[in-house]
Amino acid sequence: MILLVLLSGNADKIIEKNSLHNDIEIIKVDEKDFYDYKDFLKKLKKRNYHRIYYGCLDIKFQRFIFFMHFFNLLSGMKKGAIIDEKGNRIKILNIKTILFEVPFFIFQFLLGLLVTVIYFFRILYNKWRAKL
pLDDT in tens, 28-48: 887 777 777 788 788 777 777
Residue 83: how many other CB atoms lie within 10 Å: 23
Q: Is residue 121 part of a domain?
A: no
Q: Is residue 123 part of a domain?
A: no
What per-residue confidence (pLDDT) applies to 37?
A: 77
Which residues form the domain of 71? Answer: 2-97
- Residue 13 located in a structural domain: yes
70 domain-assigned: yes
Relative to beta strand 79-84, strand 89-93 is: antiparallel
Kindly state whether residue 87 falls inside one of the protein's structural domains: yes
Write the pLDDT tens digit of every residue in 85-117: 888 899 998 888 899 989 999 999 999 999 999
In a domain, 93, yes or no: yes
Total count of domains within the chain: 1
CA-to-CA distance for 25 and 122, rounded, in angstroms? 53
Q: How large is the average pLDDT for residues 111-129?
A: 95
Residues 6+ apart with CB under 8 A from 1: 23, 24, 25, 47, 48, 49, 50
- Looking at the domain assignment, is residue 16 inside a domain? yes
Q: What is the pTM of this model?
A: 0.77
Residue 50's pLDDT is: 81
